[in-house]
Amino acid sequence: MDLQKVTSGVTAAAVVGTGAFVGGNHQIDKMQGGPQKRQDAQIEQIRQVVREEVYIQMVNAWPKTSGPVKGLVVPKQDYRQEVPKK
């Protein structure tokens, strides 16, 4: 046997072995639910981005103040016992 035939045979064996190894990994990945897990992870990432965007839009749309009211005033009288005069 000459050198060319030996190297061709070894190369062919390596290619077949690699193909079988990669194909085996693909089958194991399918059996363990790899595609579904990747899809679920992608959906979760999309949900996170949408959640952040909705939060930012709500914060930007919410008013900083609600008119001329500046804060909480503690009443000086009990409104259940005495009605304030206008």
Mean pLDDT on 25-52: 86
**Burial call 37-74: b when 16+ CB within 10 Å, e when fewer:** eeeeeeeeeeeeeeeeeeeeeeeeeeeeeeeeeeeeee
* pLDDT (average), residues 16-37: 69
Q: Higher pLDDT residue, 70 or 36?
A: 36
More confident site: 38 or 67:
38
Q: What is the pTM of this model?
A: 0.43
